[in-house]
Amino acid sequence: MIEKQLDNDENIDEVVPEENNTNTGSSVIEDQTDQDKESSEEINEKINAEDLKDTITNNDARLEQLEKEHETLKSQYVRIAADFDNFRKRQSRDQDDLKIQLVSKALTAILPIVDNFERARQQLKPESEEAQTLHRSYQGLYKQLVEVLKQQGVAPMRVVGQQFDPNLHEAVLREPSEEFNEDIIKEELQRGYHLEGKVLRHALVKVSMGPGQQNSQEPEEKDKVEEDIDSESTISGDN
């Protein structure tokens, strides 16, 4: 029995060193594992830092690209808005011009009627009471017609005594005048009219050539020259 006990003790002694060796190996493996883990974490941190840096760089580039696109779209919007505003103004202007053309055409057809009213007013000289009553009725119609023209923006030209302007007037005659200087309108033959500041109808006028005395001097000077020539011929003949 004692020998068996001794053998067991020896076996125990032999087993103990093996356990120590196992513990030592485990700690080495753990240390290696910790080092590998730390290395892996460092590598992961470097990778994450590089990824973050790349992400920031990409975001900056994307932001710059978006800002450029924004500026481009903004410029396009401003240009389109300006084109649309110009188009709207042009359309409004064209509509106004078309309206004026239509109104001008209609009013131009009415103006000869107004001329006839004015001629009749100048020629009529009512004497009897019945003629005066008729004349007053006629004047009422004429005033109504003039009022309608005024409401449409029609205004008569005042030309007598004004400087002749081919944009406003049409010269039918040019006559000498002691009263008016040259190129001054001395008489209105047919009244002209404006429509909203534009010429609806040119005025037919007589234009002054200036005092007639200047023109009458030309025949006198011509006669004087002929007399001088005749006198020179007579002298030559005598010689």
DSSP string, 112-136: HHHHHHHHHHHH----SHHHHHHHH
- C-alpha 220: how far from chain center: 62
CATH 2.30.22.10 fits 155-239, yes or no: yes
Strands (E), 76-184: 154-156, 169-175
Q: Is 62 helix (H, G, I), strand (E, B) or coil?
A: helix
Q: Which residues of the chain have pLDDT under 50?
A: 1-2, 4, 6, 11-21, 213-226, 228-239
Per the CB < 8 A criterion, the answer to whether 121 and 138 are in contact is: yes
49, two tokens? 């830092």
Q: How many helices (H) and strands (E) does the chain have?
A: 3, 6
Digit-coded pLDDT (tens) for 173-228: 999 988 889 999 999 999 999 988 889 999 999 999 988 644 444 444 444 444 54
How do strand 185-190 and strand 198-201 relate by DSSP bridges? Answer: unpaired
What is the DSSP-derived secondary structure letter of residue 164?
A: P
Residue 231 confidence (pLDDT): 47
Q: What is the pLDDT of residue 202?
A: 93
- The domain locations on the chain are 155-239
- pLDDT score for 33: 67
